[in-house]
């Protein structure tokens, strides 16, 4: 297979959208953290501690997926520069490595999604408990 300048360039729109999605996740988590901090300072609900622990894991996952995505993007650009410099073999390896980093980024994203589902389960269990208590009254 011959790698041309257009092959790595095809990934640019996808990588840009991926990084935008990761940034949105990060911003949503930052907002959630601020809300949980306010809720916990108002009432010391132990269920909030479970959510805080869960969010800490998610932040680490978002950081790692952003890092892998950015490095994949950077190495993709490097492979284009290597192609421009007529270093075909090194460019092919660099492009392959950038694809690997992007796959790792997507796998971390998948894992973060699973962790966020656990956070929603904590929230639902808290809601169900509140509903049961309201019914008893």
Say if 99 falls within a structural domain.
yes
Decide: 137 and 97 in contact? Cβ < 8 Å: no
Three-state secondary structure call for residue 45: coil
Instruction: Tell me the per-residue pLDDT of 23-57, one tens digit each, with 9 for 90 and over.
Output: 999 998 889 888 888 877 788 777 677 777 788 88
Q: Give the pLDDT confidence score for residue 36 in this predicted structure.
A: 82
Cα–Cα distance for residue pair 109/104, rounded to 1 Å: 8
Cα–Cα distance for residue pair 109/54, rounded to 1 Å: 15
Say if 136 falls within a structural domain.
no
Decide: 94 and 79 in contact? Cβ < 8 Å: yes
Q: Give the pLDDT confidence score for residue 47 in this predicted structure.
A: 67
Token representation of residue 75? 């190495």
Q: Give the pLDDT confidence score for residue 79 in this predicted structure.
A: 94
Say if 110 falls within a structural domain.
yes
Say if 123 falls within a structural domain.
yes
Decide: 113 and 33 in contact? Cβ < 8 Å: no
Conformation bin of residue 18: beta by default, left when phi > 0, alpha when psi is -120 to 50: alpha
Say if 42 falls within a structural domain.
yes
Instruction: Tell me the per-residue pLDDT of 4-17, one tens digit each, with 9 for 90 and over.
Output: 888 888 888 888 89
The residue range of the domain holding 57 is 5-131
Q: Give the pLDDT confidence score for residue 64 in this predicted structure.
A: 95
- The residues, ordered by sequence, that sit 6+ positions from 45 with a Cβ below 8 Å of its Cβ are 39, 126
Domains contained in the chain, number: 1
User: What's this model's pTM, rounded to 2 decimal places?
Assistant: 0.79
Cβ-based neighbour number of residue 115 at 10 Å:
15
Q: Indicate whether 117 pLDDT > 90.
A: no
């Amino acid at each position: 297979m011959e790698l041309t300048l257009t092959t790595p360039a095809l990934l640019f729109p996808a990588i840009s959208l991926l990084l935008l999605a990761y940034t949105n996740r990060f911003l949503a988590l930052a907002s959630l953290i601020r809300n949980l901090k306010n809720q916990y300072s108002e009432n010391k609900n132990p269920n909030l501690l479970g959510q805080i622990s869960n969010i800490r894991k998610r932040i680490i996952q978002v950081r790692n997926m952003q890092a892998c995505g950015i490095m994949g993007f950077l190495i993709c650009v490097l492979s284009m520069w290597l192609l421009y410099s007529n270093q075909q073999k090194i460019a092919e390896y660099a492009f392959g490595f950038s694809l690997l980093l992007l796959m790792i980024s997507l796998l971390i994203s998948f894992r973060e999604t699973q962790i966020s589902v656990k956070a929603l389960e904590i929230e639902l269990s808290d809601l169900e408990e509140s509903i049961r208590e309201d019914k008893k009254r």
